[in-house]
């Protein structure tokens, strides 16, 4: 009977250690993600957008090359570059998840899925006209 109690205590100690390690890795992931930014530039280099760790625009840089564009065209291009920056952020978060908690963990899947839902890939261009 003593060996059963010892085995149970050993199992419990191992379980607690595993939970503590996962908590430490999750805290490390949170610190790393909070420091990430994503950046993208338009094909012609006239628009650069940097987003912070939650996807918010932190910096928008427009060169003088944008002056000849209509407001509609400019806003469409800015949004496209912003979304590209957010996708880059999402890719960086996925890499951090892999490095810290692992993509196969519940925490890893939740973080990656959350970023994928917030910053989805753009729809495929349609050939319909």
For the chain, what are the domain ranges? 2-118
Report pLDDT digits (tens) over 19-63: 778 788 888 888 988 999 999 999 999 999 999 999 999 999 999
Q: What pLDDT is attached to residue 25?
A: 83
Q: What pLDDT is attached to residue 87?
A: 95
pLDDT at residue 123 above 80? no
Rounded CA separation 98/111 (Å): 11
Q: What pLDDT is attached to residue 13?
A: 72
Please state which CATH class domain 2-118 belongs to: alpha beta
| Strand, coil or helix: 44 | coil
- What lies within 8 Å, CB to CB, of 81 at 6+ separation is 40, 41, 42, 47, 48, 49
Q: What pLDDT is attached to residue 22?
A: 78
pLDDT confidence tier of residue 114, bands split at 50, 70 and 90: very high
DSSP H/E element including 89: helix 71-99
């Amino acid at each position: 009977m003593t060996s059963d109690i010892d085995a149970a205590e050993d199992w419990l100690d191992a379980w607690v250690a595993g939970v503590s390690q996962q908590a430490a890795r999750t805290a490390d992931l949170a610190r790393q993600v909070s420091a990430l930014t994503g950046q993208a530039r338009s094909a012609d280099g006239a628009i650069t957008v940097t987003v912070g760790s939650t996807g918010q625009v932190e910096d928008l840089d427009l060169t003088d090359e944008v002056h000849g564009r209509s407001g509609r065209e400019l806003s469409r291009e800015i949004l496209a570059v912003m979304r590209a920056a957010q996708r880059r952020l999402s890719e960086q978060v996925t890499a951090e998840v892999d490095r810290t908690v692992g993509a196969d963990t519940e925490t890893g899947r939740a973080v990656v899925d959350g970023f994928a839902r917030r910053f989805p890939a753009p729809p495929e261009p349609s050939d319909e006209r």
